[in-house]
Amino acid sequence: MRVLVVHAHPVEESFNRALFTTVVETLTAGGHEVRPLDLYAEGFEPALSDAERRRYDDVGGNTGGIEDHVAHIQWAEALVFVYPTWWYGLPAMLKGWLDRVWVPGVAFLLPPDGKGPIQGGLPNIRWVVGVSTYGAPWWWTRWVGDPGRRTILRGLKPLCHHRVRSRWFALYLMDTASEAKRERFLARVRHAFERF
């Protein structure tokens, strides 16, 4: 399977980086074709510029400067997002990647008459998976509504294959997690991707 693994954490030696490395290495060892995409390491610019916003609805003209990223999501059969949940949602880097890369004519098609729902533009994507760490406990995260998870699993899935499948892996209370707890979570993620 062709898997795009998208990572968004600025600290090289972070536990989140260890999760990203584990996912990439495990999938590669399993025979999958993997493209690791570390947004911070590549210096991705998350802010949508004035010019990009003005040409956002110009299908075909709205991919200038992001062609490589568009090619990644059109190539992938599976998307794996590895990131920390900050303020209950996506880091600005990852949210900016969605803003700039998941554009009309690529990720979705607007109805021609302006009425009705948008149509998904990425039927090639059959899996959407999230691996995230949270500072809050699970019950508080759920009470707040877990906006990051909802964006990934409810917002992106309808733009993919009509039978897209999903998984979510969450480590709560990351800030106070013991090394043993982190290692158990890392092992759980490794085991799941060995069977992917």
Using CA atoms in the order 54, 58, 60, 62, what is the torsion angle rounded to 10 degrees? 20
C-alpha distances out from residue 157 to 10, 38, 153, 196, Å = 26, 22, 6, 18
Q: Is-contact 131 140, C-beta < 8 A?
A: no
For residue 4, give the nearest of 40, 42, 32, 44 by alpha carbon.
Answer: 32
Q: Which domains does the chain have, with CATH numbers?
A: 2-194 (3.40.50.360)
- Report whether 23 contacts 32 (CB < 8 A): no
On whether the CB atoms of residues 30 and 104 are closer than 8 A, the answer is: no
The pLDDT tens digits along the chain (196 residues) read 999 999 999 999 999 999 999 999 999 999 999 999 999 999 999 999 999 999 998 998 999 999 999 999 999 999 999 999 999 999 999 999 999 999 999 999 988 877 888 899 999 999 999 999 999 999 999 999 999 999 999 999 999 999 999 999 999 999 999 999 999 999 999 999 999 9
**Taking the model in full, what pTM does it have?**
0.95
